[in-house]
Amino acid sequence: MTDYIIAIHGGAGTILKSLMTAEKEKLYKVALQDALDQGIKILRNGGSALDAVVHATSVLEDCPLFNAGKGSVFTHDGGHEMDASVMNGSDLKAGAVAGVRNIKNPVLHAKAVMNHSEHVFLFGAGAEEFARKERIEFESDEYFFEKCRYDQLLEIRDSDQVRLDHSNTKFGTVGAVARDVGGNLAAATSTGGMTNKRYGRVGDSPIIGAGTYANNNTCAVSCTGHGEYFIRSVVAYDVSCLMEYKGMTLQQACDEVVMKKLKNMDGEGGLIAIDKLANCSMVFNSEGMYRGFQDADGRNEIMIYKS
Amino acid sequence: MTDYIIAIHGGAGTILKSLMTAEKEKLYKVALQDALDQGIKILRNGGSALDAVVHATSVLEDCPLFNAGKGSVFTHDGGHEMDASVMNGSDLKAGAVAGVRNIKNPVLHAKAVMNHSEHVFLFGAGAEEFARKERIEFESDEYFFEKCRYDQLLEIRDSDQVRLDHSNTKFGTVGAVARDVGGNLAAATSTGGMTNKRYGRVGDSPIIGAGTYANNNTCAVSCTGHGEYFIRSVVAYDVSCLMEYKGMTLQQACDEVVMKKLKNMDGEGGLIAIDKLANCSMVFNSEGMYRGFQDADGRNEIMIYKS
């Protein structure tokens, strides 16, 4: 098979057409299209699924619309703590970072952990020390300053409340999954966390098995949602296990996990997934999910709301 | 059923009888027996599996023989960064901390995250801030100072080497799994990491699904081993999935994961597990694993080497 395909997401939540302007919707769609186009170009040229998902995710990190990289929300102390992870399906290698500050592209940082350290998961100041050694690009606080994000913090800073992206209703995460011409799968996920976040909270995005998983024998998965539920449900690996051990199709496995298991425990969110046969599933139990895919046959879809 | 049972471990690795003195062996066995006795007492009195595993793990944390809590190894900068997690099988609630310093019992800290926060996973200084709010007990650097551990650091401090507990060959972790009279399962894991650890490295111990997992429908699992491999293999949840989705027995599932999947990728280590029928498995692919179990029928076994 030579089918290649990439899918991306920009977060799930209460994304309603009634709350969206035509102009804003267009901005989101242009940004998603850009990430898809740059990702598929790598696959078309014979690049690896890993390179495609990492690059597509970095494009979304660079866009201030999404809560990851440049667009990350503010923590309680007025900074940005970002998490990211990446997994390669051919050798089950993985890399992840949590609670890192001033890293321009946390997904590149996670990839460096995978490729240039003997570890899988680094956090905080120690992870940043590794990033400097690896010449990962840092950015100033000004780079990450977005006025609307700062206003979101000021609204609730003096409360104990933590807030999801956009009006307490959107889970801000970006991610990508892909299959390359060689049949290799890969997944990447990146997030800026929750507004007014304290206590070094880590969600599912940097957790291999929860927010990210890839295995050439089954599928590649990137999640977005209420992270605590996704950690407790080991969501990404659960999709893989339902396929490998129970013989479910990709769509059946995604539906079982997102529409049944997560929904039954009020775990809001969704995921994108691609299997070894180049099937693609984009499933969510929330009102909407920024999402899209593009494949070798030229199919190209970008969606925001329930279809 | 009214069968209750608890199992514990104190780490796996190249633990050879030829390298052990009779005196040292006795010290380890006394410490393991103490943790088992205190854990089974809670279960005998009708206490929960959760309380039993947390308490048994805290007893091992208080013992300087094991690399967790008081006996934690030194990081590169001469401190101690500890990780722990806990999961309750009846409601799939979980709590975890990573990279925390000066916390007397990280497993109690993880339990507080589960019970008194809206989050599952906290790290570093933020996690410590939460611990102070929760009146979790802190200890001075002197409390954690063990001369043999410090000598281990001095040996390799100026190198880039990180070292496992004891002569580069033992994975220092402690943990417990239990089934209470009500049929509830729980698991807990705690570690002091690796000597000369840098860059905020996190292993599998605080990762739900990798180092720790519990689900009343299947089993409770606590792992010890080369953490990076355990994260990539989502070991603890894999045991549960093989039982739930493939119909394996607990022992079959543990053998499949530890003796086949992990061994094939050179992932050294082991795990302890108890299922909903009160079966117990203690499986490792290394030379030895400090381990033991005690049950309602008075069976009591403590082992170190391959049987």
Q: Three-state DSSP class for B44? A: helix
Band (pLDDT 50/70/90 cuts) for residue B1 is low
pLDDT of A81 strictly over 60: yes
Question: B213–A234: do the CB atoms touch at under 8 Å?
Answer: yes
| pLDDT for B162 | 67
Round to whole Å and give the CA distance between A304 and A307: 8
What's the CATH number where B159 sits?
Answer: 3.60.20.30
Instruction: Specify the long-range contacts of residues B38-47, CB closer than 8 Å, at least 24 apart.
Output: B39/B6, B39/B8, B39/B176, B39/B178, B39/B294, B40/B4, B40/B6, B40/B294, B40/B295, B43/B4, B43/B5, B43/B6, B43/B178, B43/B180, B43/B181, B43/B296, B44/B4, B44/B296, B46/B180, B46/B181, B47/B180
Looking at B57, B75, B173, B191, which residue is catalytic?
Answer: B173
Subunit contact A207:B121, Cβ cutoff 8 A: yes
Q: Is the pLDDT of residue A291 over 70?
A: yes
CA A46 to chain B, closest CA, distance in angstroms equals 26
Whether B84 and B188 have beta carbons less than 8 Å apart is answered as yes
Q: Are A81 and A100 in contact (CB under 8 A)?
A: yes
**Chain B nearest-CA residue for A246:** B245
Strands A93-100 and A82-88: antiparallel
Residue A157 three-state SS? coil
Interface confidence, given as ipTM, is 0.95
Distances (CA, A) of B96 to A26, A64, B276: 40, 31, 23
φ/ψ of B172, rounded to 5, equals: -80, 105
Task: Give the residue ranges of DSSP H helices in chain A.
Answer: 22-44, 49-62, 106-116, 124-133, 141-144, 147-156, 165-169, 227-232, 235-246, 250-255, 263-264
- State whether residue A241 sits within 8 Å of chain B by CB: yes
Is residue A37 over pLDDT 50? yes
Q: Does A117 touch chain B (CB under 8 A)?
A: yes
Residue A293, classed as helix, strand or coil, is strand
Confidence category of residue B170, pLDDT binned at 50, 70, 90: low
The arithmetic mean of pLDDT across residues A147-172, rounded, is 69
Rounded to two decimals, the pTM is 0.95
Q: How many CB atoms lie within 10 A of CB B86?
A: 35
Residue B184: helix, strand or coil by DSSP?
A: coil
pLDDT at B56 over 80: yes
Identity of residue B277: L
Read off the pLDDT of residues B131-169 as tens digits, 9 standing for 90 and up.
999 999 999 998 988 777 778 778 877 776 666 554 445
Average pLDDT, chain A: 93
Element (DSSP H or E) covering residue B107: helix B106-116
Residue matched to tokens 């089934």: B179
Please report the pLDDT score of residue B74 as a whole number.
83
A32-41, A195-204, B23-32: segment of lowest average pLDDT: A195-204
How much of chain B exceeds pLDDT 90, in percent?
Answer: 80
Determine whether the interchain pair B238/A237 forms a contact, defined as Cβ–Cβ distance below 8 Å: yes
**Per-residue model confidence (pLDDT) at position B165:** 52
- Please state, in angstroms and rounded to a whole number, the distance separating the CA atoms of residues B253 and B239: 5
Distance between CA atoms of residues A200 and A193, nearest Å = 10
Total domain count, chain B: 1
Chain A positions touching B130 (Cβ under 8 A) are 198-199
Q: Is the pLDDT reported for residue A104 higher than 60? A: yes
B176 and A CB contact within 8 Å: no
Residue from B205, B206, B192 nearest B79 by CA: B192
Instruction: Give the residue from B191, B208, B226, B243 with the most A CB atoms within 10 Å of its CB, the best one to mutate.
Output: B208
A266 interfacial to chain B (CB closer than 8 Å) = no
* Cα B289 from Cα B300, distance rounded (Å): 16
Closest Cβ–Cβ partner in A93, A121, A231 for B208: A231
Closest CA to A264 of A288, A222, A234, A229: A229
Helix (H, G, I), strand (E, B) or coil at B23: helix
- Chain A hits for B124, CB-CB cut-off 8 Å, are 99, 123-125, 200
Q: Do A238 and B233 touch (CB under 8 A)?
A: no
pLDDT at A167: 45
Is any Cβ of chain A less than 8 angstroms from the Cβ of B209?
Answer: yes
pLDDT tens track for B189-234? 999 988 778 889 999 999 999 999 999 999 999 999 999 999 999 9
**What pLDDT is stored for residue B202 in this prediction?**
95
Residues 6+ apart with CB under 8 A from A49: A4, A43, A88, A89, A178, A179, A180, A184, A185, A186, A214, A220
Which residue range forms the structural domain that includes residue A189?
A: 5-305
The answer to whether residue A165 scores a pLDDT higher than 60 is no
List chain B residues with CB under 8 Å of A213: 234
Nearest CA among A96, A4, A10 for reference residue A284: A10
**B21-44 pLDDT, tens digit each:** 899 999 999 999 999 999 999 999
B125 neighbourhood in chain A, CB within 8 Å = 124, 200
Higher pLDDT, B146 or A207: A207
* Portion of chain A with pLDDT greater than 70, in percent: 96
Q: Are the beta carbons of A17 and A72 closer than 8 angstroms?
A: no
Terminal C-alpha separation, chain B: 30
